[in-house]
Amino acid sequence: MIDALAFLSAEQFLAFLIGGLVVNFAPGADMVLATACGIQGGPKAGAAAGFGAGSGVLWHVTLAAAGVSALIAAHPQALDALRWGGAGYLVWLAWKSWMAGAAGTGQGHASLWKAWRKGVLTNILNPKPVLFMLAFLPQFVVAGGPPVWQQIVALGLVFAFTGTLVTMGYGIVAGLAGQALARRMGVVNRLAAVLFAGLALRLATEG
């Protein structure tokens, strides 16, 4: 995989990193999910959710390298199914968090495994990464280099790595803030529910 990146010039690789980081830092589904899990379960849960979202990116990288993303993108019904499936899952998370009430303390009570799983499923069920991988990664494929799929995988791994670090950072910061909020107000579960519901609405209404 390193050989696949060696064909990029320093300027091309820098442009790829900057472009990827801009996307990573922009508010999106992964950031909101990690923030909600951090507020609800503490810094470790927020980091686990961020790591899960990064793990989900690997799924989209695999699809892009195999050409499946192009097939999905060509069929609006498939994208709609992904979007509505993701929205439904987030509504379920919102309901679970709301029903838990304000009992949470923000002290990491949430299972790290469950937080990781939320991150993975939210990312996989979001159709936007499918289109992003098709639009972004091929721009940095070098003609005459290694096979295209190898270059896509190499670029995707770098993007997944930087994105995972950024999203975990969001989750950790939110977890620390959630701990302080819990000590004063005791409404972390309700706040997490609002974030989940808002993310579900955004996913459902985006074309």
Tokens standing for residue 47: 């980091």
Q: How far is residue 47's CA from residue 108's CA, in Å, rounded to a whole number? A: 11
Domain contains 113: yes
Q: Which residues contact 182 (CB under 8 A, 6 or more apart)?
A: 104, 105, 106, 107, 188
Total-model pTM: 0.75
Domain hosting 79: range is 30-205
Instruction: Tell me, yes or no, whether 115 lies in a domain.
Output: yes
**What does each of the 207 residues of the chain score in pLDDT, given as a tens digit?**
556 567 777 888 888 888 888 888 877 788 888 988 888 888 999 999 999 999 999 999 998 888 876 776 677 777 677 678 767 877 877 787 677 654 444 444 458 999 999 999 989 988 878 778 877 888 888 777 778 888 888 999 999 999 999 999 999 998 888 766 665 544 566 777 777 787 778 767 765
Query: Is 36 among the domain residues?
Result: yes
Q: Which residues does 85 contact at the CB level (< 8 Å), separation at least 6?
A: 125
Whether 172 maps to a domain, the answer reads: yes
Residue 174 token pair: 């939110």
Query: Which pLDDT does position 108 carry in this prediction?
Result: 44
Contacts of residue 89, Cβ cutoff 8 Å, sequence gap at least 6: 121, 122, 125
- Both tokens of 48, joined, read 């686990």
* Residue 6 within a domain: no
Q: Number of structural domains, the chain?
A: 1
142 CB-near residues (< 8 Å, 6+ apart): 7, 8, 12, 151
For residue 59, being part of any structural domain is answered with: yes
Is residue 103 in a domain? Answer: yes
Residue 94 in any domain: the answer is: yes
